[in-house]
A and B are shown apart, each in its own frame.
Chain A
Amino acid sequence: MALSTLLISLLVTSVIIYFVSKASWRVGAILNFLIGIFLISYVFALHTGTTSDLGTLFGQKLQLTWTNASFYFSAVSLMVIVSVMLFAIKWLDSQKYPAAFNMFLLMMTAGSLGVFMAADLVTLYIFWEIAVLSSMLIVPMGKKESRKAAVIYAVMSASGTYMYLYGAFLAFQRYGTLNISEIAKQMVSDPSTGIKAAIFLLLASAGIAKSGIFPLHTWLRIAHGNAPDAFSAVLSGQLVKLGSYVLMVTVAVIPSLRVFANIPFYSGIPATNYFLIALGATSIIVGTLMAIKQDDMKMLIAFSSVANGGYILIGIGTMDPMGFEGGVLHVFNHALAAAVIFMAFASVVYRTHTKKISELGGLIHKMPITFLAYLFAIISLAGIPPMSGFISKWMIYQALVRKGMFITAFIAFFGSIGSFLYVFRPLAGVFLGQLPKKYKDVKEVSPVMWIPMMILVVISLIIGIWPFPVLQPIESMRADFGIAPMVKISDPDHWLIRGFAGNWNPVLVFNLFLIGFIIAYILYTMFPRSKKVDLLAPHKEEGTPINIYTGGEYIYTPELYHYNTKFYAGFERMYEKHPSWEKVLGMLAKFFHDLGEWVHGWFFRPSPSAYAFWVSLTILIVFWVRW
């Protein structure tokens, strides 16, 4: 099947799915999942270099082509989407509009696959809009506030895409082509730095808006926080990666090191790239600091997505072989981790109907599998070894230290240690600690919901131990883009990952951890058996106090003896009065709103004579100027 046929039939199928889902949404969800499975097998069978035409515009062929980059990004996206599709088979029964959800989810899948396949800027734009609009229509299915969330999402996304479109037309006007690789070729020989930089930044701005990089990051909090719970997994795990893809296209497919060789800024990195890196670093700071103080667990991870988008941008922006691979690998790691985390939260919300950390606690006693999924996902997100998340962070650090970018490295370290802080909050506040009495009848979610989480966790663990299946495609991608193609980072023959400053062996490190764990277990079994303390005793029998250290006090209401609000109060107090970018944007919106009101007030007067005045004035002007 040609690529264009695939995408168009997917779009058509999505409408059919809608009508099937109207009859029975579960059948629609299962069909969706089967289509997803088919797409994965299809994607893995495709050969690079496959192209197909979509049509013509301005005498330019609109083309789809299958490259190593499209394979990598599509595979990651489909992994996330298909697991959410499986998750939705059960989860959708808590939703009001399951049929529309099924339709838009499939439509969005088609749109994002199209983005990854697009060979020219306009095709990319078309599919981009399909993905954005269909996802935008899912967002308001959540709650009442979600309507506003959808509007903000649309406006932010549009401000990015229109800049992108302007950049695309600028490129077309200057180079006479829309094909990305053609433009890249011509940009290298173009003498005018100003126009090149303008095109570069305009194209990148779509990615900036989509992946939640600093000045346009505010929609992430609102959209991720208020979207239907399982869809947040797609938003954070997959849709945001569209932005990373566009950033990668602008920075790497257009060889920015050669194009901007005349404006080096610091250790061989051009000023344009450095500008993007600075934005990425700012988003790490903003994302981390804001995530630490959120009470809404979904918003917490939404801000963490802002920070991780920053990591990806920093990694790719350095255009260093290590940094580029690290950034692209971080796409994979963050996609998996964020998807699992959001699915775990969706499971929690599905059972408890709240997403406030301060209202939850002790769910490990009731939902142990969800807890385990969340635990492994945060180990990956925080970048701790046995999981895959560490490898990408390690690579990015290597690149930053190699280039001597100490301030950026400082921010990256800050984000990394800050991520320990914020991922621990839901762990401690939602899953560990004391279970509130009102949740004593909560049950674990059904296997249909936890199996997809566990699959993603296992993939992430396996890639953390044996990362070469993912590093190979990234390596061939890097060769395509000509970023130091001689440097070999992954060395599967010796089980090594080679950095500029020292190697390491992920299999060995995992085995050491395993040996350490076994020694610990042997020690554990050698010594006297422990007596179990029943933390749920007050739930089982009224009038039993909790049996933990309370300073000799009797506590019968366990939720009062649970620490989940203002978890890092000492640290939060230090930046209470921070300047808020969201407020600045709010002021801007208010200004335009008031301007509109004012103009509106001029034209729409209650008296008919004002209308007569405006109408006659318009006619007068039209005749006088004679357009």
Chain B
Amino acid sequence: MAAYKALFNLVVAFFLVLSLEGIARKIMARIQRRIGPPWYQNFIDLFKALSKHPFSNGWIFDFGVLMALGGALATAMIIPMGSITWTPFPNSDNFFVIMYLFAVGALGMAMGMVGSGNPWASIGVSRALTQMLGYELPYLIVMSSVIFFYKTASIHKLIELQRGGWNLLVMPLGGIVAFISLMGMLGKKPFDIMIAPAEIASGPMVELSGKYMGLLHIMHVFSVFVEISLFVDVFLGGGSFGWYLVKFVVVWVLAVMISSVLPRFRIEQMLKFYWGVPLGLAFLNALFVLLGWTL
């Protein structure tokens, strides 16, 4: 049963996020008064990339791509989708496990891309890691206070415990900080420093051709699924599967709309931003939780 649920997770993640990415392009186009591509454009892009005859820059390049996709798939399989019914592995959906299993994919990608031998990829990875240092700290502090408050790190239990009220309403500061961190995790506009096509030739992806591009696109799809699902599960309560999808779409659209009107930060501006207000709010939130001042 668990295996079918895990497989279902993957199928949902693939179709949901890939269509949502297309919709994001459409939304962005409408905001910029363009017509924009059709919503299924990203499916076409993905299959086109997979159909090309690519170049491989050595075995570590291949291995890194496989490790990245493998790590992202493994993480996506654990994620609960809104309730205990859609939790594939109720015994292992610990927050820290998910967070660090997620890092396997990131490490695989970083290693493979630097293995391509291109310094732009190294620069991109150095920026990505620095950005991780930025957004993870406020996020983890908020998550720690949530775990301290509910006395559990298991995601499906956190969903159940929010019956009384969404976490976003119980600790609004935490919710806001987590959303800002989510923007950094997704690599959306003010925080797309590691990609930056105009400065560093799309950073880690500089040497990707054909199926390598396609496989990493799939990895990106699952990463987006994991990141947004964590936010939805922990801060927006539970409910039926349909409700979960609605919340997922709302969070995504909000992130896209914010990102489409913002320019890009420089790397130290990003660090100063995250270690300023969001980190302060995260600690304030932790203090409120310690003192019991939750709504």
Seen from chain A, the residues whose Cβ lies within 8 Å of a Cβ on chain B are: 362, 364-365, 371, 375, 379, 382-386, 390, 393-394, 397-398, 400-402, 404, 406-407, 409-410, 413-414, 417-418, 420-421, 424, 427-428, 432-434, 496, 499-505, 508-509, 512-521, 523-524, 527-533, 535, 546, 548-549, 551, 558, 561-564, 567-571, 573-574
Q: Is the CB of B91 within 8 A of A530?
A: no
A432 to B61: give the CA distance in the assembly, Å: 10
A561 to B201: give the CA distance in the assembly, Å: 15
Q: Is the CB of A496 within 8 A of B77?
A: no
By the criterion of a CB under 8 Å from any partner CB, how many residues of chain B are at the interface? 84
Interchain residue pairs with CB less than 8 A apart (9)? A364-B115, A384-B101, A406-B283, A406-B290, A420-B132, A503-B94, A504-B92, A509-B74, A520-B70
A558 to B117: give the CA distance in the assembly, Å: 9
Enumerate chain B residues within 8 angstroms of A573, measured Cβ to Cβ: 268
Q: Is the CB of A523 within 8 A of B115?
A: no
Q: Is B17 an interface residue (CB 8 A)?
A: no
Q: Is the interface of A mostly helix, strand, loop or mixed?
A: helix
Enumerate chain B residues within 8 angstroms of A514, measured Cβ to Cβ: 70
Give residues 89-136 of B contacting A (CB, 8 Å).
Answer: 89, 91-97, 100-101, 103-104, 107, 110-111, 114-120, 122-123, 125-127, 129-130, 132-133, 136
From B115, which residue of chain A is reached at the shortest CB distance?
A432
Binds A, one of B37-45, B139-147, B229-237: B139-147
From A501, which residue of chain B is reached at the shortest CB distance?
B153
Q: Is the CB of A504 within 8 A of B97?
A: yes
Enumerate chain A residues within 8 angstroms of B141, measured Cβ to Cβ: 406, 409-410, 413
Q: Is the CB of A520 within 8 A of B130?
A: no
Q: Is the CB of B152 within 8 A of A531?
A: no
Enumerate chain B residues within 8 angstroms of A569, measured Cβ to Cβ: 126
A505 to B94: give the CA distance in the assembly, Å: 10
Chain B 205-236 near chain A by CB (<8 Å), digits 1 or 0: 01100111011001000000000000000000
A474 to B256: give the CA distance in the assembly, Å: 49
Q: Is B27 an interface residue (CB 8 A)?
A: no
Q: Is the CB of B271 within 8 A of A385?
A: no
Q: Is the CB of B69 within 8 A of A562?
A: no
From A551, which residue of chain B is reached at the shortest CB distance?
B201
Q: Is the CB of B148 within 8 A of A530?
A: no
Contact partner of B66 among A406, A434, A517, A567, CB < 8 A? A517
A499 to B151: give the CA distance in the assembly, Å: 11
4 nearest A-B pairs in the assembled complex, by CB-CB distance: A516-B73, A517-B70, A502-B154, A570-B267
Q: Is B259 an interface residue (CB 8 A)?
A: no
Enumerate chain A residues within 8 angstroms of B260, measured Cβ to Cβ: none
Extra contacts besides A432-B60, A520-B69, A524-B66 (6): CB < 8 Å? A401-B147, A520-B215, A535-B57, A561-B119, A562-B117, A570-B271
Enumerate chain B residues within 8 angstroms of A509, measured Cβ to Cβ: 74, 78, 92, 97, 101
- Chain B: minimal CB distance from A305 (Å): 20
Q: Is the CB of B73 within 8 A of A379?
A: no
A110 to B56: give the CA distance in the assembly, Å: 51
A504 to B75: give the CA distance in the assembly, Å: 13
Enumerate chain B residues within 8 angstroms of A529, measured Cβ to Cβ: 53
Q: Is B241 an interface residue (CB 8 A)?
A: no
Q: Is the CB of B91 within 8 A of A384?
A: no
Q: Is the CB of B97 within 8 A of A533?
A: no
Q: Is B266 an interface residue (CB 8 A)?
A: yes
Q: Is B58 an interface residue (CB 8 A)?
A: yes
Known: A384-B100, A521-B66. A527 touches B214 (CB 8 A): yes
A417 to B266: give the CA distance in the assembly, Å: 20
